[in-house]
Amino acid sequence: MNSSNNQLCSSYASLDDTTFIPIYQAACFCGRVRYEVNAEPVDAKLCHCRACQALHGAPMQWAAIFHKHQVRFTAGTELLRFYHSDRDIKERRLPCKVSCDQCGTPIADEGRRMWLAFPSLFDFDQHAGIPESFKPTCHIFYGQRVFDSADDLPKWLGHKNGSARL
């Protein structure tokens, strides 16, 4: 395991932590990178910024936000690939993009204190559907949208509560 992965593991809950009770599990497409969370998301958003569009090959990115101490890796930390887009380098310089080096799945955006998880990677009960806490509360960077979203969610020009509401 390289030094970035050692630092990563020290930023998150340990497998040895007996007080950590997982609620949800997530995995990349190939299943080699796995993690779990022990809380509901702090928030969930739809991001329309150009970077998210390009990195996800989609008109927007859906993210559920967790504190790092609510996240625990169970497999595949040696396969984590990091990308710091501000400097265009493959390093774990926060904030950064995290993906699986094996299958290429975007796994999360890692911030200094937060983990922006991608809900489509979570193993939700097929019958229960997506938990309410994972449903988006707003659109951010809506000024860069590819198409209009016909919903009643608040739409922000930039970050939620940090920019003009459209």
For the chain, the domains span 3-41+62-133
pLDDT at residue 140 in the model: 98
Which residue matches tokens 């050692």? 6
pLDDT tens digits along 118-130 = 999 999 987 789 9
Rounded CA-CA distance 35/142 in Å is 30
Who contacts 145 (Cβ-Cβ below 8 Å, separation ≥6)? 48, 59, 60, 139
Q: CATH for 3-41+62-133?
A: 2.170.150.70
β-sheet bridge partners, residue 73: 35
> To the nearest whole number, what is the mean pLDDT of the chain?
93
Please state the pTM of the whole predicted model: 0.90
Which structure tokens are listed for 148?
């209009």
Closest CA to 33 of 118, 127, 96: 118
